[in-house]
């Protein structure tokens, strides 16, 4: 009876009376959750947040289901002031718990509030933000809509921008940021996110202008200085990058990840072989000098956001970068691995794919995984919400498990799946897929040719390859145990090669003359390979080289400037970025293509050769330069394979002189390409390799 009177007094705003009644009941009813719930609200009302949380946890000890909390109907009958008290406390608890061990309890509380009637826009905005943090995008969107209907605010538009960004809707995120800034030009979080979005689309000057406005408001905001350092480094402005890194570290000297980044600062597009060799030597020395051990468990909240360089560029710089990659990985101390229980029935395989890598994954591995025998293996895609739409459309038969921006929560959630193996389609192309293996997501972890070569990560157990992709003494090129599958690890068909059929002129190319394509990522243009292009240009002044611009305009300018030192402008054609059907049309219009070294074509090789484009290649000793040769072996063709730089040049000159030969070779490729499509042994070989790795 006294507890009921205390609750009524609390609702009526009679705090002193309620407190006295609750105090008298502590000795008599210490196990009643209603007692501790009332005391929690009183403490919160008095500004004692820690005591309020302690009392609330006490209430949950006696009633973990929190049935003492009012449902929506009861909440609607409370006085407005009491509604606000209750609501503000629960919102604060959710905010405090959503990123910690009480995350699931926070989620349940948020779902309870989801049923409460919204009384004002701020409440709806806070709930939208919390549901976004709790990886509930649909509920977050609903509360965003309601908040904007009640009273549009910059903060709500910013929450919507974050939501759109996490779902991969870059244009929607940008529009929401601009709406936020239209309402409040001083909303620095929206301005910074807009800067990030503009930077992603390489609108560099506008992005920089927004960053500078943020710094004018928050001159001591260290993370933005670090981000500016990464931007300057990506553009090759190393002195400016170091100034930004040092400013960030002066503000936050304990940031070990930033300190490591400052140590390994290098240009992604070296202007010459000399600069490249100097960069590699400096990297070796920097990794040797850096003596700060980085416990990854201490930096979980930073790993996905810091944008630390994972040294993937080493694959472009050097044929064999394993020693450097291992030296880099040694600086990170992995958390203690959990125990996984071996499954006796069908295998459970998790496949991690990070945002913006979905297209390549679908072409190379997605359909192969979907073709595996479901009686033998259960495949679960480990993805972020941004990838949901494309995978729901393209691979509806595979399960999808969503990871959240909360690193620690995502790791624990995946570990709880008790996966027999986790396949990291790529490891090192971004911080997410580089650092996730350190946290041991499954009993066995492996990668394959999407990673370009060995990762150097101690926790990566296996590397899946094929005999045709490996050179002699291949095992020495890997920190992982090398597992060889007889078939090439790909599963694709002609329906994935739907060209727009555009003519040369429609693509912006000359209708006549010999066109040698270099349709690769411009980072693959090694300074040593430029000598080959220069000699070909001198051999045939009428020859045109066709490149496709990267999304980074500064990189495009740097590559053009390098080439113009040795090749006339009339011989260089740079096309803008092409949509996939037009890119495939380009492959149909070229006379032949040049495969560079040390990092040659991957997915592109399967597309080009299947479309009949002669791709001249010179395989090295490692996987990343041997994919075209492996494809030619399947087709029983060796004409376009050279084994030295001299032979490569001789074959290239012959193709320049004899376009009719290229045309005949194209017909041969088209006649034989069926051998590449849906190789019947590929799924069985992949499954056999998986079973071997999981049984070891």
pLDDT digits (tens, 9 = 90+) for 464-487: 999 999 998 999 999 999 999 999
| Reported confidence tier of residue 1, pLDDT bands at 50, 70, 90 | low
The pLDDT of residue 516: 98
How does pLDDT run across 482-538, given as a tens digit for each residue? 999 999 989 999 999 999 999 999 999 999 999 999 999 999 999 999 999 999 999
Of 487, 530, 551, nearest in space to 684 by CA: 487
Q: For residue 145, what are its two tokens? A: 């809509």
Give tens-digit pLDDT for 412-452.
Answer: 999 999 999 999 999 999 999 999 999 999 999 999 999 99
Mean pLDDT, the chain, integer: 94
> How high is the pLDDT of residue 671?
97
User: From residue 366, how far is each of 346, 397, 413, 488, 623 by CA, in Å?
Assistant: 20, 11, 23, 14, 20
- d(Cα 165, Cα 65) in Å, to the nearest integer? 34
Other Cβ atoms closer than 10 A to 11 = 18
Residue pair 324/279 in contact (Cβ under 8 Å)? The answer is no
Q: Give me the mean pLDDT over the 225-243 stretch.
A: 94
Handedness of CA 647, 652, 655, 656 (dihedral sign): negative
Q: Please name each of the domains of the chain with its CATH number.
A: 2-216 (1.25.40.10), 247-326 (no CATH), 347-491+684-695 (3.40.50.11380), 496-676 (3.40.50.2000)
- Mean pLDDT, rounded, for 649-659: 97
3-state secondary structure 184-230: CCCCHHHHHHHHHHHHHCCCHHHHHHHHHHHHHHCCCCHHHHHHHHH
Structure tokens at 460: 């990566």
- φ, ψ dihedrals at 622, nearest 5°: -120, 160
CB 422 within 8 A of CB 440: no
531-540 tens-digit pLDDT: 999 999 999 9
Chain segment 306-326, per-residue pLDDT in tens: 889 999 999 999 999 999 999
Element (H, E) at 695: helix 681-695
Radius of gyration of the chain (CA): 29
**Per residue in 134-191, pLDDT tens?**
878 899 999 999 999 999 999 999 999 999 988 878 899 999 999 999 999 999 999 9
User: Does residue 344 carry a pLDDT above 80?
Assistant: no
Structure tokens at 302: 């930073």
Q: Is the pLDDT of residue 115 over 90?
A: no
* pLDDT tens per residue across span 604-636: 999 999 999 999 999 999 999 999 999 999 999
Quick check: 522 and 534 in contact, CB under 8 A? no
Please compute the mean of the pLDDT values over residues 19-39 and round it to a whole number.
91
């Amino acid at each position: 009876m006294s507890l009921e009177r205390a609750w009524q007094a609390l609702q009526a705003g009679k705090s002193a009376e309620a407190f006295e009644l609750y105090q008298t009941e502590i000795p008599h009813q210490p196990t009643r959750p209603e007692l501790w719930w009332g005391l929690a609200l009183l403490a919160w009302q008095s500004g004692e947040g820690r005591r309020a949380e302690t009392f609330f946890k006490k209430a949950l000890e006696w009633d973990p289901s929190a049935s003492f909390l009012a449902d929506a109907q009861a909440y609607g009958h409370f006085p407005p002031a009491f509604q606000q008290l209750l609501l503000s406390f629960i919102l604060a608890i959710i905010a405090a718990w959503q990123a910690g061990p009480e995350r699931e309890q926070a989620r349940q509380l948020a779902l309870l509030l989801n049923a409460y009637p919204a009384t004002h826009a701020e409440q709806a905005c806070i709930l939208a933000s919390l549901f976004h943090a709790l990886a509930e995008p649909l509920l977050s969107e609903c509360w965003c809509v309601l908040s904007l209907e009640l009273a549009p605010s910059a903060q709500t538009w910013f929450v919507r921008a974050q939501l759109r960004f996490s779902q991969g809707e870059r244009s929607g995120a940008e529009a929401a940021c601009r709406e936020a800034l239209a309402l409040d030009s001083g909303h620095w979080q929206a301005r910074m996110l807009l800067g990030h979005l503009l930077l992603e689309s390489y609108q560099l000057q506008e992005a920089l202008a927004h960053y500078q406005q943020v710094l004018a408001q928050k001159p001591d905001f260290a993370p933005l200085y670090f981000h500016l350092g990464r931007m300057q480094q990506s553009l090759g402005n190393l002195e400016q990058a170091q100034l930004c890194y040092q400013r960030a570290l002066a503000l936050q000297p304990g940031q070990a990840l930033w300190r490591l980044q400052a140590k390994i600062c290098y240009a992604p597009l070296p202007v010459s072989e000399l600069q490249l060799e100097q960069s590699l030597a400096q990297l070796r020395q920097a990794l040797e000098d850096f003596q700060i051990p980085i416990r990854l468990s201490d930096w979980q909240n930073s790993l996905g956001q810091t944008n630390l360089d994972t040294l993937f560029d080493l694959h472009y710089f050097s044929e064999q970068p394993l020693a450097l990659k291992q030296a880099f990985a040694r600086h990170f101390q992995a958390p203690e691995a959990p125990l996984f229980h071996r499954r006796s029935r069908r295998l459970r395989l998790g496949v991690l794919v990070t945002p913006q890598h979905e297209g390549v994954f679908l072409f190379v591995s997605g359909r192969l995984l979907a073709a595996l025998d479901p009686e033998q293996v259960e495949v679960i895609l480990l993805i972020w919400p941004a990838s949901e739409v494309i995978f729901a459309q393209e691979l509806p038969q595979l399960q999808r498990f969503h990871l959240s921006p909360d690193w620690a929560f995502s790791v624990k959630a995946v570990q709880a799946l008790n996966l027999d193996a986790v396949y990291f389609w790529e490891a090192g192309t971004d911080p997410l897929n580089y650092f996730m293996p350190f946290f041991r997501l499954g009993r066995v972890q492996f990668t394959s040719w999407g990673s370009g070569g060995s990762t150097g990560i101690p926790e990566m157990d296996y590397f899946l390859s094929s005999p045709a992709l490996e050179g002699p003494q291949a095992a020495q090129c890997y920190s992982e145990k090398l597992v060889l599958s007889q078939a090439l690890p790909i599963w694709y068909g002609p329906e994935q090669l739907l060209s727009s059929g555009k003519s040369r002129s429609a693509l912006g190319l000359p209708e006549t003359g010999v066109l040698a394509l270099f349709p690769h990522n411009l980072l693959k243009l090694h300074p040593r390979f430029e000598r080959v292009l220069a000699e070909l240009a001198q051999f045939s002044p009428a020859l045109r080289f066709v490149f496709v611009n990267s999304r980074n305009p500064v990189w495009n300018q740097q590559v053009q400037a390098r080439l113009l030192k040795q090749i006339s402008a009339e011989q260089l054609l740079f096309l803008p970025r092409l949509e996939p059907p037009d890119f495939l049309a380009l492959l149909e219009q070229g006379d032949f293509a040049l495969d560079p070294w040390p990092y040659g074509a991957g997915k592109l090789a399967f597309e080009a050769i299947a479309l009949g484009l002669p791709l001249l290649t010179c395989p090295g000793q490692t996987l990343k330069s041997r994919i075209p040769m492996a494809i030619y072996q399947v087709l029983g063709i060796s004409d376009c394979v050279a084994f030295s730089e001299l032979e490569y040049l001789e074959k290239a000159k012959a193709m320049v002189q004899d376009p009719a030969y290229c045309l005949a070779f194209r017909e041969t490729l088209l006649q034989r390409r069926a051998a590449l499509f849906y190789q019947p042994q590929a799924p069985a070989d992949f499954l056999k390799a998986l079973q071997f790795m999981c049984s070891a």
